[in-house]
Amino acid sequence: MSQPGPDSDGQSYEPDPKRWRALTVTLVAGFMGLLDVSIVSVALPSMQHGLGTSPAQVQWVVSGYALAFGLALVPAGRLGDAYGRRRMFLIALTGFVLCSALAGAAPTPLLLVVARLAQGLAAGALAPQNSGLIQDLFRDGERGRAFGFFGATVGISTAVGPIVGGIILALAGEQTGWRWIFYVNVPIGIVALVLAARLIPPTPSRGRRQHIDHVGVLLLGGAVLAVLLPLVEAGSGGVARLWWLFPVGAALGTVFVIWERRELRRERPPLIDLRLLSDTPGYASGAGLGLVYFVGFSGIWLVFALFFQTGLGYTPLQSGLAVTPFAVGSAFSAVLAGRVVERFGRRLTVAGLLTVATGLAITTILLTTVPAHVAGFVIIPSMLLGGIGGGLVISPNVTMTLRCVPVRMAGSAGGALQTGQRIGAAIGTAALTGIFYAVRGQDPTRLRGAVGVALGTAVVMVLVALAIAVAELRAGRRAVSEGLPEAAHQHQ
């Protein structure tokens, strides 16, 4: 158990007796926000039938949320650092609940898209407060356990979205079932809001005189928008039509780095302290690993949905059940990983990535060879194996990436880490589905080849992430041989 003592900023730390209950509430809220990234995908046909949306409008119900989510992460994390994470958490959760109700009640496609954009901003503002609150409330081994639960929440919310959506549609019906996908957030969110107000301790406001880097917000927001917009529009030819935004994003990103260095020279708090990348052990490699892994990890779910629903005629619920073993394995191993991450460190992510790659590779081989009518059953063991590996990746990587981050920068560091993951998820979803459609074309006989190439690409991205993890592990071993105990402990 954590003992009283100074934290990484030299301030006194006293464990809060309500910290584990507070964590439970924040993770429930974070789960809802992340779940809404993927749960809506299975309800798109229901929206088209019930509300008369066009294909472009229904695409923006999904992609608009993901875009707004990614844009809000870093600025909201910085605001949490400056004005208190409890305050930002309550504001963001209130906004998420209200926007969920508005989305469920939307009478027109336009209002639904607007509500989803606002809901995405609220969810993006909520997400970095979770990791920041863990930094505030926990230390040492307890922090690893807390990040274990956080990692389980991230992995499970992504994986179970299709099955939760399928269950809601099966219960509520095709015509109006999509509304209940949004409405279900309202009672859960209200309970979470009440409990959060009671359980989350006030965090010290760093205050009203804190400088907020508005120029940095605009530059980073523009760079992220320029990268994400063509990707979220990929289904309607966005990459070919908006390719010119990629160099614009690179230019804005370069100007952002120059500006942030200028803010540091002027001794003003930047939006992202670039010393996180250069001086904080494990942060740069962990952020890079997370981005690459999410390209493969997040991209596979829509490929599975297309293969099972469009290709094999599964219902949304059946399609969700087919990938449930991954979520089950991830839930179990992520919690376990949180308990042992202090002991095994980066070795957990190496083992996890190797296991994910193995599980996905076996799944790919099976889907391209076994008869269609048993496809959903024969992949249960390999999907379970991949899920066990996935739980050993996300949770320990978050812990190892953020463990040396000073508490005063926890929100912006967590926001930047999740922004990279959102960009990776957008790239993966656009690229893997694009590969699937390109290989299949209009020929249904190419279905197996399409899923094989798309999932094979995901395996390659997981192996790239594995190479990053191995390099980080070797760096730690070099640190041991050179007698640098702190660096060695970080890289383990």
- pLDDT (tens digit, 9 = 90+) per residue, 321-362? 888 898 888 878 887 887 787 788 888 999 999 999 999 999
Share of the chain above pLDDT 70, in %: 88
Supply the pLDDT for residue 219: 87
For residue 489, pLDDT over 50 is answered with: no
Q: Which residues, 6 or more positions from 252, have their beta carbon under 8 angstroms from its beta carbon?
A: 219, 220, 222, 223, 226
Supply the pLDDT for residue 235: 62
Q: What is the rounded average pLDDT of the residues 110-123?
A: 90
Residue 423 has a CB neighbour count (10 Å cut-off) of: 19
Q: What is the rounded average pLDDT of the residues 179-206?
A: 85
For residue 4, pLDDT over 50 is answered with: no
Per DSSP, what are the bridge partners of residue 134?
Answer: none
Distances (CA, A) of 187 to 7, 92, 171, 182: 37, 16, 18, 11
DSSP 23-39: HHHHHHHHHHHHHHHHG
Among 29-38, 130-139, 222-231, 407-416, the range scoring the smallest mean pLDDT is 407-416
Supply the pLDDT for residue 477: 67
For residue 395, pLDDT over 60 is answered with: yes
Q: What is the rounded average pLDDT of the residues 159-166?
A: 76
Supply the pLDDT for residue 40: 78
Supply the pLDDT for residue 13: 61
b/e map of 343-359 (b: 16 or more CB within 10 Å)? eebbbbbbbbbbbbbbb
- As a whole number of angstroms, the distance between CA 456 and CA 460 comes to 6
For residue 117, pLDDT over 50 is answered with: yes
For residue 381, pLDDT over 80 is answered with: yes
Q: What is the rounded average pLDDT of the residues 291-305?
A: 85
For residue 254, pLDDT over 50 is answered with: yes
Among 207-211, 321-325, 337-341, 438-442, the range scoring the smallest mean pLDDT is 207-211
DSSP 104-122: HH-SSHHHHHHHHHHHHHH
For residue 107, pLDDT over 80 is answered with: yes
pTM exceeds 0.95 for this model: no
Top mean pLDDT of 173-182, 243-252, 434-443 is at 243-252
- Tell me what the pLDDT averaged over the chain comes to: 81
- As a whole number of angstroms, the distance between CA 67 and CA 256 comes to 19
Angle between helices 410-440 and 380-402 (to 10 degrees): 150
Share of the chain above pLDDT 90, in %: 19
Residue 215 has a CB neighbour count (10 Å cut-off) of: 16
Question: CA angle 147-148-153, nearest 5°?
Answer: 90
Helix (H) or strand (E) holding 224: helix 214-232
